[in-house]
Amino acid sequence: MHVQRGNTYMEKTNKNVKERVLSASRLKTLETCSWSYWCNYHLKLPQKQNEGALRGTVCHLVFEMLIKKKHKKHFTLITRGDNIEASAAVFRLIMKHLSQMEESFDLPMTNEDNMKLMNDMILVGLRCDFFGRGGKVDSPEHEFLIKNENPPYKIRGFIDKPILYKKNKQIKIVDYKSSKYKFRGEELHSNIQAMVYTLASKKEWKGYKPTIEFDGLEYYLSHAFGVINNFTEETATTNYAADTKKNSWLCKIGKWRCPYIDPYDYFVVVNKKGEEIKKALKKKDLQKNLKKGEKIETRSYEGCPRHKPMSADNILDMFA
């Protein structure tokens, strides 16, 4: 096993665990690296944040706010002023969250480079037909849960911005993460997230035309549903990102390193029953909300087995 309490290894697979439900992010992780899936969704290891992901979180918050009619004046101020600072209220909101992130994660979120990137990302999103000309934005942050019987699977997720066009009965799905429309052309057949969200739009908004057919997709979802509900540490070693050319960059490229490559220590809150309640990289993040009967313990993650240095014994075994 790869999680330790002192010198004792702990089996983390719970035979009585409740049924797991698919999501686009689960599917993507499962497809690209089985070990990353294990660390993220089973061990639920705390991981270091990166500046790009945190910027995306703040951008998403801004888009979610500005899509509301009562805040349209701030949309106008920013797009006409060509800068997020043109709206004092929005800029204060952004700085509040970036400053909190800077303190929590020891990252330079408010430096000049990050502020320029933040400004550019928000402007791109707001200028990309933000309100869906000719259509109607229907229930932003729309949550869906699909329960299918034949073939059997369950999948849930959120659609950032569905735009309905009543005239031709079409629906367009906008994903805030990239500030572009996801569901066009070849990308529909190669991007599992695009296909899942389009499937969801077909089931959620009946009567509107699906942009693609779904032959095979639901059988793939049924297969993946079975995989995640029978996932073990042994399964986790069957599909390393490092072993496929298209996914190997996810391990490390430039300054980027997968958060699960290297060994590290972290902290957990344990209750009277010995159950792990919460995990964090910093002990102080757990101390402030500690309840009676709970205690903080240290855990050690040994790193990705695919990237572990070969021991002297293993090297000798190769020549035995």
Region 46-57: mean pLDDT is 90
Strand-strand pairing, 161-165 and 264-270 = unpaired
Task: Please check the confidence at residue 4 and state whether its pLDDT lies above 50.
Answer: no
Predicted local distance difference test score (pLDDT) of residue 179: 40
**270-292: pLDDT as tens digits:** 999 999 999 999 999 899 889 99
Task: Please check the confidence at residue 38 and state whether its pLDDT lies above 60.
Answer: yes
How far apart, in whole angstroms, are the C-alpha atoms of residue 25 and residue 36? 12
Looking at every residue in the chain, the average pLDDT score rounds to 86
**Higher pLDDT pick, 90 / 316:** 90
Task: Please check the confidence at residue 150 and state whether its pLDDT lies above 60.
Answer: yes
Among positive and negative, which fits the CA dihedral 3, 9, 13, 14? negative
H-helix or E-strand containing 72?
A: helix 72-81
Task: Please check the confidence at residue 186 and state whether its pLDDT lies above 70.
Answer: no
Predicted local distance difference test score (pLDDT) of residue 212: 52
Region 261-271: mean pLDDT is 96
H-helix or E-strand containing 9?
A: strand 8-9
35 contact partners, CB below 8 Å, separation of at least 6: 236, 237, 240, 241, 260, 304, 305, 306
Q: How confident is the model at residue 45 (pLDDT cuts 50, 70, 90)?
A: very high
Region 174-200: mean pLDDT is 62
pTM (global) more than 0.85: no
Check if the beta carbon of residue 237 is closer than 8 Å to that of residue 183.
no
Region 50-78: mean pLDDT is 94
**Higher pLDDT pick, 141 / 110:** 110
Q: How confident is the model at residue 141 (pLDDT cuts 50, 70, 90)?
A: confident
How far apart, in whole angstroms, are the C-alpha atoms of residue 162 and residue 176? 11
Domain range list for the chain: 136-227
Predicted local distance difference test score (pLDDT) of residue 138: 87
Predicted local distance difference test score (pLDDT) of residue 49: 86
H-helix or E-strand containing 222?
A: helix 217-228
Predicted local distance difference test score (pLDDT) of residue 184: 42
Predicted local distance difference test score (pLDDT) of residue 252: 93
Q: How confident is the model at residue 17 (pLDDT cuts 50, 70, 90)?
A: low
Predicted local distance difference test score (pLDDT) of residue 3: 52
Region 17-41: mean pLDDT is 94
**91-102: pLDDT as tens digits:** 999 999 999 999
Q: How confident is the model at residue 22 (pLDDT cuts 50, 70, 90)?
A: very high
Q: How confident is the model at residue 13 (pLDDT cuts 50, 70, 90)?
A: very low
